[in-house]
Each structure stands twice: as C-alpha cells, then as structure tokens.
Structure 1
Amino acid sequence: MKLKFLLIPAVLLTACKAPVKETETGKEGALAPIQGTWKLFSAVTVTKGDSVVTYPIKGNKEEMIKVINGDHFAFFKHDLKGGAGKPIFDSGAGTYKFADDKYTENLDYCNYREWEGHSFDFKVTFKGDTLVQKGIEKIDSLNVNREIVETYVRIKK
C-alpha cells in the first residue's frame, strides 16, 4: 500500500515535466559549441588582396571579448591603459543564427551607428577551445567590402 502512494507523486512529477523543445542547436539545454564567452586572440582584415593585422596592434594595450548565448551575441573592446591617453571602447550586439559551420550575425546595436541593421555571414571552425570566424563584412553605403578572419579562445569559468 505504501508503495502505491510513493509511486503516484513520482508519476505525476514525470508527467508534468515540460516537453523538450528542439532548437537549431539541438535539444534545449544543450549548448551549441559557439555558445560561451570568447576572448579575441587575433584578427586579420583582407581588403582587395591586402592583409592587415587588426588585432593585436603593436603598442596598443586593449582586449576584446564576445559573448554568445542561445540567440544573442555581444562584443566589447576596450583599452587596458587604465584611463591614460585616449580611451578605446567599441561594442555591438544583436541576434544570430548558427547551423553546421554557418554563423550569421544581425547587428542590432553598435557604437558605430551606421553599422546597425546589417547582417554578416561567416564560416566558423572549432578546434578545442579555439573558434575561427571567417567571412565578409560588406556595407555598400560605407564603401566597406572586406574579408575578416578572427580567432577567439574560450574563456573558462
């Protein structure tokens, strides 16, 4: 008799559990490999065949991180000069889509306001805790048309 009363709450709790929802990244609760906090390690911009290292820049003391959750991303770059000299601060955020190796950022917010409202397609690869993001930044109204290759390292808790 006691066994019946113990089983009833267990069955009810199991029956009341919300169904697992499928998402682009797999089962809800499972993190896609792109999700996390990433620190920029290096960046190269290629314009008309000319490559320029844009991060790190020799003599500049700055860092950048990118935070990616289930459906939004944000990036922040600032100087590490502790207030000495002209401060550096760049930021942006928006939604993204990620499937297989295709990653699209929809930039909704940016301190360079003319970049807002644009989308950028990238191919991403992962090797251990390293993410490489490669794609084209193109904004006709700003005469921007360049390839970027950014390498990030996952920041561990």
Structure 2
Amino acid sequence: MNIDELVGEWTLISAEITKNGETTSILDPNRSYIKMFTRNRFAFFSRLPNRENFSNNATDAELMLGAKSFDAGTGRFDLNGQDYIEHLDFCSHPNYEGQSIAFKLTYVDEVLTQEGIYPLKRLGFADADGYLVETYKKLAS
C-alpha cells in the first residue's frame, strides 16, 4: 500500500468484528459511511438519512437524537507498507480520543481492506478485544 493509492475518499461496504470466535457484521445498512485520507490525516463520518433539524430551542431529546444519528472522528496516521496506525485526535465517542490503533491495509482493484486487533478492552467496550475487518470502495474523484 502506498500513500498515493490511499489518498482520497472511500465508502464503507462491509465491516465485521470477531469476538470469542463469533463473527458479526457491524455495518448498519441504514447509515452512510465515508472515510477520507490526505497524505497524513484521516477522517471518518457516518450518518443516518433524513436527520431532523433542531428547533430554535433544541431540547435534550433533539440533541441526543442528533448525536446518535451522526458519528465522526479524525487524526493523524502512520503508514509503512501495509502497517497502518491511526492516532485519534477527535471523535464523537470520547473513549477513542488520544488512542492509537494499529491495522494492516491491503489494496486490490480499488478496494481497501483495513483489519487488525480491535482494542475493545482498552477502549472500555468489552472484557476482551476483537478482530476487525473493514472493506472500503474508493469513490470517483
């Protein structure tokens, strides 16, 4: 994998996590997913369709619905061949901020696969880590 292949905009087409020998799809078919790469930064976004606008005096319920219908994160990354490490600076899920997560990247026929041990325990989401496999299709520029 080289940086010129990585730079651009991608859409998530599959995502699976394996925990305790069981593999589960974690791709919500109702969401739109985008991941973007520059030469040294990444950003990801997901949202549900048809998000409602806030009222003039947004209620806590409106704010919560808005937060649940949109996710984003960004940071720096290191790329050395297939070895890829994300260093998260900002994220809508605060458990990720300040974390570094290592993956392997492969790129074949305009499809990017990002996979590796996912630190669910360190992030505070589970008692054991999982193995994450995400597949992205490059969008036309």
Query: Which TM-score band (shorter chain)?
Result: 0.7 to 0.9
Q: Does 1:49 align with 2:21?
A: yes
Tell me the SS of whatever aligns to 2:140: coil
Tell me the SS of whatever aligns to 1:105: strand
Q: Matches of residues 38-117 of structure 1 in structure 2 within 5 Å?
A: 38-55=10-27, 57=28, 60-83=29-52, 86-87=65-66, 88-117=69-98
- Residue in 2 aligned with 1:152? 136
Count of matched residue pairs: 125
**Partner Cα separation in structure 2 for residue 111 and residue 34 of structure 1:** 24
Measured after TM superposition, the shift of residue 141 of structure 1 is: 5.4
**Partner Cα separation in structure 2 for residue 32 and residue 104 of structure 1:** 17
**Partner Cα separation in structure 1 for residue 80 and residue 7 of structure 2:** 12
Measured after TM superposition, the shift of residue 150 of structure 1 is: 0.3
Letter in 1 for 2:21: G
CA contact (8 A) 1:37 1:67 kept: yes
CA contact (8 A) 1:61 1:81 kept: no
CA contact (8 A) 1:104 1:121 kept: yes
- Residue in 1 aligned with 2:8? 36
Higher relative contact order (CA 8 A, sep 6+): 2
Unaligned residue ranges in structure 1 (runs of 5+): 1-24, 26-30
Letter in 1 for 2:138: R
Q: TM-score, normalised by structure 2?
A: 0.80
Tell me the SS of whatever aligns to 2:52: coil
Root mean square deviation, CA, Å: 2.0
